[in-house]
């Protein structure tokens, strides 16, 4: 794919060159330094010490400062009171929304809808720039196949093709047609590269993989982001094959800047340059700073390594002024692309309108409903019929938890809880939490299960707290926290044949095979965001048909992890009639739910796979009683390529919406290829549901 070129600002380059020539060493390093604001009860603030540093020109970039009033005040110091009048670059973790919180990225990935991914990024950019921000530390593009890793919540799931599609859409959404647009925010593709493969799913641990695995699985989303014109890239905290990414010259200067042609800003992760000392590759800050600079890192986030280490590194001959000037130039060019020199106050000058907020809330409701995944629906337990409902569980009345991790500037009081959504939908229900999300107090379980006697159906709201996923939230046990399983067992036993619907809130697949077996309906609600309760009520009542899919294979047992559809074949593939083939002796090989699994309120059948110049085409019929939308996937398998290839490789996906009894066709473009291959099309990666055609 052709890279989308960033505009060349030849008219201002002389201005940037003159600035660099006029700078002292301290001012240059200031442009390479990013410092966080402090935080008070009233919001983000700047201390007098930081104000003096900005005035002196030794801090050129900040994070965690937002809000028009705060931003305008601190920008004025940089622009009007510093010697060179260089505006600040302000960044923030705008991960899945800003003021309006959208579903977590893993949930959004399951929509398989580039237009929706772009729309939520565009909405987040509009809110963030109205708060004075210039840089979003997003999208997170780490392919991950181990749900023990908490940051799987922030990424695209297990597949590189899906990750690349998300990368393109998110960069378009954040950056709009031009970074100079007042509502555009610079995107930052992170964490380059391999962070999602940390050992045993443990946060910040080492990564180790073959060159082929790196190229085929972990690099494609970043290549796509660069091709889309992403403005910045953040290296991972972790090492890869023994070389910390913050000092990985081969992958930063060689692959990223050289092979991919990335010419934007590389910004370190929080304190990552100083942590090169912990990695054991640097003895002090001077060596750490020199290693990061030589690798191509332009901005030091929160380590103060460049300010304290680079002057010493220059004296020792470990760093060069040419590399410093190159880094400063890239930072200033980004500020120029954002139009900060021409008008440093334009982002944050115009307050958000009530109409704009209402439109974004409507988008959040629609996207949240479409991100829910109906994993199971025995005997059509959903949508709910008329009657009284028992709502049980600690996540039912937990508006703040609906935001999930990395909720930006979203406030808990602005989120809709499950109870509020059900109430606004006019449902008749009784509620008891039964237990807390965590903790061992089971004394209120009897009170909760007693509600089952008074109702026609039961809604169990279970899962993780928002902070149990995300950074530094790896979990070795992926069952329900606390005594929630005890509550679930009691309710399932007491319901006595009444439908039990489980809403499972989490930032990752949870290993809950007993719960999945006992429930009549199971919904992966993830963390749906600001409009959670309303979106859930829309799906439960049938106002919206679920259409979300799992962007990651859902394990049935901890011992299966990592389980993913793109595994390579074995010389002894599983054969139930042969003990000496690849299998577990105590559990099925297959995941509990495959990649792409997700039910609707319709019933879709596909037939007649054929391949033409336009792509792979199938006939689709909705034989169900309700209108619904289905997502179909195109997989291929290469045969005899000289090396072993995965049994399935995702190459495309498409959607079709059909009324009851309606028929249609779906065509998915098929990438060109040399050599024989087999094409598969179906509603998931479950081999039993795929049509195949050998080419």
Annotated catalytic sites, by residue? 269
Whether residue 562 is preceded by a cis peptide bond, meaning omega within 30 degrees of 0, is yes
Quickly list H helices, 176-304. 211-213, 220-227, 249, 276-279, 285-295
Question: How is residue 199 annotated by DSSP?
Answer: G
Contacts of 655 (CB under 8 A, 6+ apart): 112, 113, 547, 629, 630, 631, 632, 666
**Region class of 439: left (phi > 0), else alpha (psi between -120 and 50), else beta:** left
Quickly list H helices, 457-552. 484-495, 513-518, 532-540
CB 501 within 8 A of CB 427: no
- The pairing of strands 663-668 and 615-622 is antiparallel
Quickly list H helices, 501-634. 513-518, 532-540
Q: Which two tokens stand for residue 568?
A: 């390579």
Q: How far apart are CA 681 and CA 687, in angstroms?
A: 10
Q: How far apart are CA 65 and CA 44, in angstroms?
A: 5
Q: Which of 621, 630, 618, 619 is nearest to 680 (CA)?
A: 618
Q: Which two tokens stand for residue 429?
A: 């229900």
Q: Which two tokens stand for residue 172?
A: 């378009």
**Which residue pairs, CB below 8 angstroms and at least 24 apart, start in 350-357?**
350/130, 350/182, 351/68, 351/130, 352/99, 352/126, 352/127, 352/130, 356/126, 357/99, 357/100
Q: How far apart are CA 542 and CA 407, in angstroms?
A: 28
CB 500 within 8 A of CB 452: no
Quickly list H helices, 181-282. 211-213, 220-227, 249, 276-279
Q: How far apart are CA 452 and CA 492, in angstroms?
A: 9
Q: How far apart are CA 590 and CA 356, in angstroms?
A: 45
CB 107 within 8 A of CB 191: no
Q: Which two tokens stand for residue 492?
A: 């399932």
């Amino acid at each position: 794919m052709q890279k989308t070129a960033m505009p060349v600002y030849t008219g201002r380059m002389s201005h940037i060159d003159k600035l660099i020539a006029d700078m002292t060493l301290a001012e240059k390093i200031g442009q390479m330094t990013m410092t966080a604001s402090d935080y008070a009860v009233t919001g983000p603030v700047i201390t007098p010490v930081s104000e003096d540093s900005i005035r002196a020109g030794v801090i050129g970039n900040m994070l965690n400062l937002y809000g028009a009033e705060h931003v305008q005040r601190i920008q004025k110091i940089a622009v009007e009171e510093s010697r060179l009048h260089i505006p600040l670059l302000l960044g923030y973790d705008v991960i899945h929304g800003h003021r309006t919180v959208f579903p977590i990225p893993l949930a959004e990935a399951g929509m398989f809808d580039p237009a929706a991914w772009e729309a939520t990024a565009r909405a987040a950019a509009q809110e963030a720039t109205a708060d004075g921000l210039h840089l979003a530390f997003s999208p997170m593009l780490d392919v991950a196949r181990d749900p023990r890793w908490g940051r799987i919540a922030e990424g695209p799931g297990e597949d590189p093709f899906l990750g690349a599609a998300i990368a393109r859409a998110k960069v378009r959404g954040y950056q709009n047609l031009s970074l100079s647009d007042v509502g555009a925010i610079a995107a930052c593709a992170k964490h380059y590269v391999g962070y999602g493969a940390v050992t045993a799913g443990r946060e910040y641990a080492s990564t180790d993989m073959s060159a082929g695995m790196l190229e085929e699985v972990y690099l494609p989303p970043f290549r796509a982001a660069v091709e889309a014109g992403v403005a910045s890239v953040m290296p991972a905290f972790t090492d890869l094959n023994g070389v910390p990414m913050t000092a990985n010259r081969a992958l930063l200067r060689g692959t990223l800047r050289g092979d991919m042609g990335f010419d934007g800003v590389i910004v370190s992760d929080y304190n990552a340059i100083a942590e090169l000392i912990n990695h054991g590759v640097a003895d002090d800050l001077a060596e750490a700073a020199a290693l990061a600079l030589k690798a191509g890192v332009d901005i030091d986030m929160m380590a103060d390594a460049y300010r304290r280490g680079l002057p010493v590194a220059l004296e020792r001959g470990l760093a060069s002024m040419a590399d410093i000037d190159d880094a400063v130039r890239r930072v200033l060019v980004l500020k120029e692309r954002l139009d900060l020199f021409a008008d440093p106050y334009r982002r944050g000058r115009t307050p958000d309108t009530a109409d704009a907020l209402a439109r974004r809330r409507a988008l959040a409701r629609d996207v949240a409903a479409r991100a829910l995944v109906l994993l199971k629906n025995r005997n059509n337990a959903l949508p709910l019929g008329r009657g009284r409902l028992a709502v049980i569980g600690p996540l039912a009345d937990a508006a703040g938890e609906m935001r999930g991790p990395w909720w930006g500037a979203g406030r808990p009081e602005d989120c809709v809880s499950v109870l509020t959504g059900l109430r606004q939908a006019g449902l008749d229900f009784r509620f008891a939490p039964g237990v807390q999300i965590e903790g061992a107090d089971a004394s209120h379980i009897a009170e909760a299960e007693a509600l089952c006697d008074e109702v026609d159906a039961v809604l169990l709201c279970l899962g993780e707290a928002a902070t149990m996923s995300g950074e530094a939230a790896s979990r070795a046990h992926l069952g329900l926290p606390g005594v929630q399983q005890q509550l679930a067992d009691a309710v399932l036993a007491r319901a006595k044949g009444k439908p039990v619907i489980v809403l499972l809130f989490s930032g990752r697949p949870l290993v809950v095979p007993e719960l999945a077996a006992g429930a009549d309906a199971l919904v992966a609600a993830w963390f749906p965001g600001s409009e959670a309760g309303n979106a859930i009520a829309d799906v439960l009542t049938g106002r919206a048909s679920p259409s979300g899919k799992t962007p990651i294979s859902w394990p049935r047992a901890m011992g299966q992890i990592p389980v993913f559809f793109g595994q390579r074949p074995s010389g002894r593939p599983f054969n139930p009639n042969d003990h000496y083939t690849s299998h577990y002796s105590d559990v099925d090989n297959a995941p509990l739910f495959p990649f792409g699994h997700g039910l609707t309120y319709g019933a879709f059948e596909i037939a007649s796979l054929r391949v033409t110049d336009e792509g792979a085409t199938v006939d689709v019929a909705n034989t169900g009683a309700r209108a619904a939308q289905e997502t179909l996937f195109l997989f291929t398998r290469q045969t005899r390529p000289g090396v072993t290839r995965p049994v399935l490789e995702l190459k495309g996906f498409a959607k079709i919406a059909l009324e009851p009894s309606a028929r249609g066709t779906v065509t998915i473009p098929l990438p060109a290829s040399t050599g024989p291959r087999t094409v598969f099309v179906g509603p998931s990666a479950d081999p039993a549901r795929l049509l195949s055609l050998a080419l």
